[in-house]
């Protein structure tokens, strides 16, 4: 493969036609595509419900969901109406099928709790958009450079596609509007980022439109995806701000609690600290549960626990509900 800058116009046209043909084949809703999509959805949904990230990654390897997105990217810059119709139809069909299958699996599967794999996809931020932008560059670059394997491309883009879309289905099955809406926002933001970065990357790689109609379509597609991405970035920016604030608050609580407990005795071991922040910090309490291992000769009195609560409330300016689970340990000397 010659460097792109040294390709002749004829060679570049041939490469473009080959890419279009490849994408048109990959986005066909045939038995192979449907088998990969359904299987990847089932695996990803079970992995998310079972809080198993390894299983979710396995689903990313086989998911074909990135091909319709790449088809839309390629259609925008080539202005091929047939390709945009096929890619868009394939994307919508994949979108509906994935949500439907993940919802069915959730109904059947006995675990109904909100696992960490679910929660991390119900708090979308600008960081997720940046990840999607980066993975889109990888996906488009893989079209040109044979050194980047197609499996790497699929995994990279599926990180931003298959898991959040499965969580949309999980949220609908559980009747949880927050899970449904937030994961849908994350998925939409990722799709917008992938399309925007994909079109821009193709342009920078000199895969550019030449006819007036192609230039017009390219500019419109880039503009629309950019506007879509911009408006989605506004709520995602607020989500990011809230996430940073919550992280800082939890860190302050953990540090204060740890300091106060170790002031009683450095021999006390803190096993686990769980912090539940309320929706409204001004009117609701922060719930904290701590599990500590305390040598038998040391006593954490109720007065001492009240002092710990007071210290945390002073640090956070919020009311606190603290529960300390004490496990007595025997020290053999």
Q: 245-257, pLDDT tens digit by residue?
A: 778 888 888 888 8
User: What is the residue-averaged pLDDT of the chain?
Assistant: 79
Instruction: Answer yes or no: do 86 and 137 share one domain.
Output: yes
Instruction: Answer yes or no: do 193 and 323 share one domain.
Output: no
Residue 71, domain member (yes or no)? yes
Residues written for the chain: 333
Residue 12, domain member (yes or no)? yes
Residue 138, domain member (yes or no)? yes
Nearest to 192 by CA among 214, 222, 220, 217: 222
- Average pLDDT on 111-127 reads 79
Sign of the CA dihedral with 273 first, then 113, 53, and 163 last: negative
Residue 88, domain member (yes or no)? yes
Instruction: Answer yes or no: do 255 and 204 share one domain.
Output: no
Query: For 237-286, what is each residue's pLDDT tens digit?
Result: 776 677 777 788 888 888 888 888 888 888 788 877 888 877 666 667 88
When pLDDT is cut at 50, 70 and 90, the band that residue 3 belongs to is: very low
> Residue 296 maps to which CATH number?
3.30.300
The domain in which residue 117 lies consists of 4-208
Instruction: Answer yes or no: do 252 and 135 share one domain.
Output: no
* For residue 310, pLDDT beyond 80: yes
Instruction: Answer yes or no: do 187 and 98 share one domain.
Output: yes
pLDDT of residue 190: 82
Instruction: Answer yes or no: do 176 and 257 share one domain.
Output: no
Last residue of a domain, one of 180, 208, 236: 208
Residue 28, domain member (yes or no)? yes
Spatial distance between the Cα atoms of 104 and 81, rounded to a whole number of angstroms: 35
Residue 204, domain member (yes or no)? yes
Helix or strand run (H / E) with residue 88: helix 81-108
* For residue 1, pLDDT beyond 70: no
pLDDT of residue 167: 93
Instruction: Answer yes or no: do 36 and 170 share one domain.
Output: yes
Contact criterion met (CB below 8 Å) for 89 and 24: no
Instruction: Answer yes or no: do 159 and 295 share one domain.
Output: no
Instruction: Answer yes or no: do 34 and 166 share one domain.
Output: yes
> Into how many domains does the chain fold?
2
Q: Which residue has the higher pLDDT, 157 or 227?
A: 227
């Amino acid at each position: 493969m010659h460097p792109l800058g040294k390709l002749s116009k004829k060679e570049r046209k041939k490469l473009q036609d080959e890419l279009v043909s490849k994408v048109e084949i990959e986005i066909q809703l045939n038995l192979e595509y449907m088998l990969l999509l359904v299987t990847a959805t089932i695996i990803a949904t079970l992995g998310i419900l079972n809080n198993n990230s390894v299983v979710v990654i396995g689903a990313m390897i086989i998911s074909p969901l990135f091909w319709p997105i790449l088809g839309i990217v390629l259609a925008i810059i080539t202005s091929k109406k047939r390709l945009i119709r096929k890619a868009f139809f394939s994307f919508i069909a994949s979108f509906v099928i994935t949500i439907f299958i993940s919802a069915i699996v959730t109904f059947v599967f006995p675990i109904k709790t909100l696992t960490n794999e679910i929660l991390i996809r119900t708090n979308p931020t600008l960081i997720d958009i940046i990840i999607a932008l980066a993975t889109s560059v990888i996906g488009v670059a893989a079209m040109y450079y044979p050194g980047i394997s197609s499996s790497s491309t699929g995994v990279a883009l599926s990180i931003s596609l298959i898991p959040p879309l499965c969580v949309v289905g999980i949220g609908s099955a559980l009747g949880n509007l927050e899970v449904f809406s937030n994961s849908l926002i994350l998925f939409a933001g990722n799709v917008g980022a992938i399309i925007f970065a994909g079109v821009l990357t193709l342009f920078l790689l000199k895969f550019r439109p030449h006819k007036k109609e192609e230039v017009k379509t390219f500019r419109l597609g880039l503009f629309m995806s950019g506007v879509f991405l911009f408006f989605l970035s506004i709520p995602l920016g607020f989500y990011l701000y809230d996430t940073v604030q919550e992280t800082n608050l939890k860190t302050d609580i953990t540090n204060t609690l740890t300091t106060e407990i170790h002031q009683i005795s450095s021999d006390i071991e803190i096993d686990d600290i769980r912090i539940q922040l309320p929706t409204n910090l001004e009117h609701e309490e922060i719930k904290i549960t701590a599990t500590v291992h305390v040598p038998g000769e040391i006593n954490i009195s109720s007065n001492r626990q009240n002092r710990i609560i007071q210290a945390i409330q002073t640090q956070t300016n919020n009311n606190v509900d603290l529960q300390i689970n004490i496990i007595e340990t025997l020290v053999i000397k």
